[in-house]
Structure 1
Amino acid sequence: MDNKPTKTSSGRYQLKYRGVECRNCKHPLDISDKYCPNCSQANSIKKLSIKDFFDEFFASVISYDSKLLKTLAALLLRPGKITRDYIQGKRISYTNPFRFLLSLSLIYFFIISFSNDFSSLDRYGAKDKKEFINVFKNINFDDKGKLNQNPIDSSSNRSEINKILEQDKIKDSLLFKNPKKYFSSNNHHSFFSRFFHKIDFFTTTISKDTIYSFDDAITKYQIKNNRENKSAYNSAKGLSRLKNQPGSFLNSLISKLPFTTFFFLPIFAFFIWMIYIRKKYTYTDHIIFSFHNQSLLFILLIVSYLINNIFKIDSQGIFLFIFLIYLYKSMRNFYKQRRFITIIKYLFLNTIFVILATIAIIVVLTGSIFTF
């Protein structure tokens, strides 16, 4: 019996180009196999031509576009249904939830960053307009680094001290009189007190002295090269740049936000799993449900942003209201529980979502400051 496919293929997939062994994984093939059942590579021994290359490229694009349109249609018109289909194995028609959400978040934050000239805010950054001048050589300090309370004979020195007090320069005078001693003056305190003291030290020296790197601080102030000191320096460097370049900081922050979603959504899915623990869903099912709903939120945010910029109106509230209704319908359709129970769980999950999103933003904001 002739074991050939009933449907004739074209291009490099014609029968005359079929092999009997996969060129990728060496799995035995039949001439009727268009793809390897082991690794899914196309069964073709024909060398790839330019025409074949572009044919396959456009075929993959059309296939992706088809999946994208079906995913969008199912997501918009059938809340919760797309998740149910996906976890039941009907996946060939839809795009991967993780990839889809990542793409939408990148598109949204790219639009935000690209359409706003945040860098122009750098002009409002705080700059030191005058060069710092060391006038503290004649000021005396006791062994603990505090200003000596003994009378100072020189009237010029007394006048200088009054000037320092008026300009709130006592801290700087202490620091630059003996930087090494000032830096180590908090070593016996708790970690947080010591760490913020070091941040304050580095912030002052970065803005008022020729310190451009941690190595400069090590050399000039004989500071130990350890992780705590380096972390304090990096934090001070980030705070100084934030102070001087607020617009650039916003651009840096926005570039990190898409990835923040994928840190708190798995935690959020844990809470969904907890309140639906009696349902026969796995933790992964809840993550997919979260990804689909978050994708819809990004779609609405993108549409709202475009409408706002084209028509010069504020539509965020309308689209947020649409999303809240959508989320309720999605929970009802996917988890199949009564209205009252769904509403209680809906309110609880929205509260958790707001809390987790706030924590995530604070963490990213803090991390961005310390690494900027």
Structure 2
Amino acid sequence: MSHGKIREDKTCLNCGHQVEERFCPHCGQQNIESRHPFYYLFTHFFEDFTHYDGQFWGTMKNLLFKPGRLTQVYLEGKRQQFVPPVKLYIFISFVTFLFISFQITDLNFGKERTRQAKEINKEIQKEAVKNKAVNEALQSPEVLKADSLSGGMLTRALDSSQVKSTAQDDVDVENIFKENKSITKSLGLQSMEDFDKRNQKNAHKYQTFRPFVAKIFELEEKGHSPSEITNMFIKSSVHNLPKALFIYLPLFAFLLWIFHSKKKWWYFDHGVFTLHYFSFLLLLTLLLFVLNKVFSYFGETSSFAIIMKGLLTTGATVYAGCYFFVAHYKTYRTHPALTILVGAVLFFINTVLFTFLLMGLGIVSFLLMH
């Protein structure tokens, strides 16, 4: 609840009715001062969402640990206890994908290669400093005199050592940066005309891949390497995933509507269940990303981090599947055997459909890269 200062004027700014206490009895608006500090824009949002009265935190607790509870209470008409389904889904979706987008901002599959190259460049610079010091030392009269007495052997030995060291460093750098910088060339393609000739020669059986090859040529012409193209694809897919999920929500609810009594359950009821279940999945995903981020500080390649990430991912996957069956049973109150059967069929169908959705998302994301 907002703690803004109550106005001395008892006339509601919104509808003009008299306000005896904090809230207008006609429109419900608070009769508080309308001008606030700048930070109020942000604090008001969180106050309005969390209510500071336990509604938000109670919703999170029930969403995570009590499958079907939120849907059951909402459909019973008790709608002031918890955050409304649509508002809940939008908020969790926003926070989840915002966090994920921050995690992939610096995504770079060439990090290790770049790190090694930087280390070698540092060694080269150190060697160059040493060589410079040696060359300066050779110019001193004492060294020149000693070198002349030895017939120039000292100078030749030092020069040979410098050349060998520099040449070895050049080879190392070349090996580190030695990679196939062109996807199309690795496929033996020089241009789209080359692809079209091969396609025509093979009775156009590669026609389906033409838009993808054209996109790769387009990106390579702009100077993008394979690792950069991969990074762009992942970022584009994550950016489009919220839209794909939002499109899939009605389909998920429609499948529930097909498998349940039309007289007892309306499509609206299935929509509420869908919003709560997808909110749970997004919240679980958010927690999984946060915990993985925490364990990454122990070292990306450490045994502890790898084991913990594997256990968390496996545990979250199993929990998400069990959660669906429990929530389905508590919401629809069908016979346990029927719940397992219908739930298994729904789970299988949605898994297949969602897989196709992700494939479609990948195709669209790739073709929209620029």
TM-score, normalised by the number of residues in structure 1: 0.61
Which structure 1 residue ranges, 5 or more long, are not aligned?
Answer: 1-8, 133-166, 177-181, 213-236
Structure 2 match to 1:260:
244
Distance, in Å, in 2 between the alignment partners of 1:65 and 1:278 is: 37
Contact 1:79/1:326, CA 8 A, preserved across alignment: yes
SS of the residue aligned with 2:345? helix
Residue in 2 that maps onto 1:30: 18
Partner SS, residue 51 of structure 2? helix
**Paired residues of 1:304 and 1:319 also in contact (CA < 8 A):** yes
Matched, 1:119 2:116: no
Alpha-carbon distance in 2 for matches of 1:52, 1:301: 30
Contact 1:18 1:34 (C-alpha < 8 Å) held by counterparts: no
Instruction: Report the equivalent of 1:301.
Output: 285
Q: Cα distance, 1:76 vs. partner?
A: 3.0
Q: Deviations over 1:239-264 (max 9, x none)?
A: x8878521122122122223322111
CA distance in 1, matches of 2:10, 2:42: 18
- Describe the SS at the equivalent of 2:31: coil
Q: Letter of the aligned partner of 1:48 in structure 2?
A: R
Change (3 A) 1:284 1:108: same
SS at match of 1:35: coil
Q: 1:242 to 1:370 in 2, by over 3 A?
A: farther
CA RMSD of aligned residues (A): 4.3
CA distance in 1, matches of 2:47, 2:283: 26
Give the residue type in structure 2 aligned to 1:266.
Answer: P
Please tell me whether the aligned partners of residues 108 and 228 of structure 2 are also in contact (alpha carbons under 8 angstroms).
no
CA offsets 1:290-320 (integer angstroms, 9 cap, x no match) = 1212222233333334444525221222222
Do the aligned partners of residues 68 and 201 (structure 1) sit closer, same or farther apart at CA in structure 2, a change above 3 Å counting?
closer
Q: Which residue of the partner structure matches residue 6 of structure 2?
A: 13
The yes-or-no answer on 1:89 pairing with 2:77 is yes
Pairwise CA distance, 1:369: 0.9
- The structure whose RCO (Cα within 8 Å, separation 6+) is larger is 2
CA distance in 2, matches of 1:241, 1:266: 39
Q: Write the distance in 2 (CA, Å) between the matches of 1:282 and 1:201.
A: 47
Classify 1:51/1:278 alpha carbon distance in 2 versus 1 (closer, same or farther; 3 Å).
Answer: closer
In 2: Cα distance, 1:202 partner to 1:31 partner: 63
Q: What is aligned with 1:48?
A: 35
Asked if the contact 2:55/2:83 (under 8 Å) is kept, the reply is yes
Q: Secondary structure at the match of 1:32?
A: coil
1:186-205 matches, within 5 Å, as none
Give, in whole Å, the separation in 1 of the partners of 2:81 and 2:291: 30
Query: 1 or 2, which has the higher helix percentage?
Result: 2
Greater displacement, 362-371 / 286-295: 286-295
Alpha-carbon offset, residue 267 of structure 1: 0.2
C-alpha distance 120-89 of structure 1, shift in aligned 2 (>3 A): same
Contact 1:242 1:369 in 2 (8 A): no
TM-score by length of 2: 0.61
1 CA distance for matches of 2:100 and 2:328?
30
* C-alpha spacing 1:61/1:295, structure 2 compared with 1 (3 Å): closer
Tell me how far 1:112 sits from its aligned partner: 4.1
Residues 143-168 of structure 1: per-residue CA shift (max 9 Å, x gap)? xxxxxxxxxxxxxxxxxxxxxxxx96
- 2:350 matches 1:353: yes
Identify if the C-alpha distance between structure 1 residues 55 and 112 changes in structure 2 by more than 3 Å, giving closer, same or farther: closer
Q: CA deviation at 1:67?
A: 2.2
Structure 2: 5+ residue runs without aligned partners?
A: 114-176, 296-303
Match of 1:98 in 2: 86
Q: For 1:245, give the aligned amino acid.
A: I
User: 3-state DSSP class of the match of 1:17?
Assistant: coil
